[in-house]
Structure 1
């Protein structure tokens, strides 16, 4: 079957493609970039990366984890975007994440951890923004109190603080 392309059909096809492409793009950050997500993602806003400022992260669906950690005294409330929502926002396609901190510490985290454990990319500790000195501005937090099996070296090393970048890839 042969399709006859008229000018209106060509314009319609081009406009549908343009709308689809625009729907895939993220808005660029207005404030200072605090997180860069790269790798196997489909939604970007700066070249082939997704850059986020604090306002963008705060606009994503938030979660809260109240838990004790080896690095804090007593229970602490951590809140911020749900990891699984962040991955969906950038159209993450890979199964693994390389999470890198401001000091270049890096940990490999299975993307499935974000969904299976309700991981939060904390931007607030007890309702207050976290400074770099206090493990901020971003901290990957697991619900240790809800699932004591997570209190192992494996998950503790995945609890990266001072997160600056996430690279999505397939292992």
Structure 2
């Protein structure tokens, strides 16, 4: 019985550390009556961008790779004013579409060369280039930096 309990605890602990596979849908974007589903490979095909920056949630400089928010919105024809970005645990934030500009945030799927697990704030994390401009180091911007992101609804 003890070995069964130990095996079950090990399985539960490992669930949060598993990263999304490249064929798994990691992001659903709803825009009016259109629903777009993206795997990591789909996001990569839109174009990758790297941001190397420090964050208030981690130690030292971090490397993030993901799709630029502006490119994702252009790819899906988004014209709304606000994005509701929601996490796996249903926590949600609003991001103005005006943030989606060249040099702005990315939807990161890699951190320091690895796909992110739930335990590592994945599968997706909205990352701004915090170190590039003081305008990205505000409470308002930090509050938009949602992790464990899995869906976006255009408002």
Indicate the TM-score class for this superposition, using the shorter chain for normalisation. 0.7 to 0.9
CA distance in 2, matches of 1:131, 1:58: 17
75, 86, 89: which one aligns with 1:103:
89
Q: Unaligned stretches of 5+ in structure 2?
A: 1-21
**1:76 has 2:62 as partner:** yes
Query: What root-mean-square deviation, in Å, do the aligned CA atoms of Structure 1 and Structure 2 show?
Result: 1.5
Q: Secondary structure at the match of 1:149?
A: helix
**1:148 has 2:148 as partner:** no
Aligned counterpart, 1:134: 120
CA distance in 2, matches of 1:33, 1:142: 23
- Give the 5 Å matches for 1:32-47: 32-40=24-32
- Runs (4+) off by over 6 Å: none
Aligned counterpart, 2:19: none
* Rg (Cα) greater in structure: 1
- Give the 5 Å matches for 1:51-130: 51-115=37-101, 117-130=103-116
Alignment coverage as a number of residue pairs: 134
Q: Unaligned stretches of 5+ in structure 1?
A: 1-29, 42-47
Q: TM-score normalized by structure 1?
A: 0.74
Whether the aligned pair in 2 keeps the contact of 1:130 and 1:138 (CA below 8 Å) is: yes
Aligned counterpart, 1:165: 151
Greater share of strand: 2
